[in-house]
Amino acid sequence: MLDHAGLAARIAALTEGETDEVALMATLACEIHHADDRFDWTGFYRVTAPETLKIGPYQGGHGCLIIPFSRGVCGAAARSGEIQLVPDVDAFPGHIACASSTRSELVIPFFGRAGRLVGVLDIDSNQPDAFTEADATSLQEILNDVFREC
């Protein structure tokens, strides 16, 4: 299971004073991915154009390069501004299968200054129902702390 407090402390120490979004995403992708064996793919999709997410730093196999806000779990998180905790990706209408091994998914939108949507954190698992509300809440708090000044 994820050591939420330990992960938050490591990330806070590693990112202190950094405001470059890509550097922050790269550091978080690595730390989060290696923090728990449930995490099969961990990465960021950045808002790069209206209604468009483009892949950012990640850990794991290849991800989708571009995801419109209108498609998939990542698009739903970006479009709604709400966490998407999906216990069974096959039951999610319009799920984009970037990897056939994905069974469950957690996507968390995150925001910078003035409420600007920076992107989404996408975590896939090859296990069904792998994520908890505690995972979602803890990771959202970490993202809020790290990206609030971006």
The CATH number given to whatever domain includes residue 74 is 3.30.450.40
- Which of 43-47, 59-63, 97-101, 145-149 is the most confident on average? 43-47
Q: What is the pTM of this model?
A: 0.96
Q: What was the pLDDT predicted at 124?
A: 96
Mean pLDDT of 110-137: 96
Q: What was the pLDDT predicted at 97?
A: 78
**Rounded Cα distance, 75 and 73, in Å:** 5
List the domain range (segments joined by +) for residue 119: 4-147
Beta strands of 60-139 (E only): which ranges?
Answer: 66-68, 84-86, 104-111, 117-125
- In the chain, the number of structural domains is 1
Residue 58 predicted with pLDDT over 80 = yes
What are the tokens at 28? 């978080």
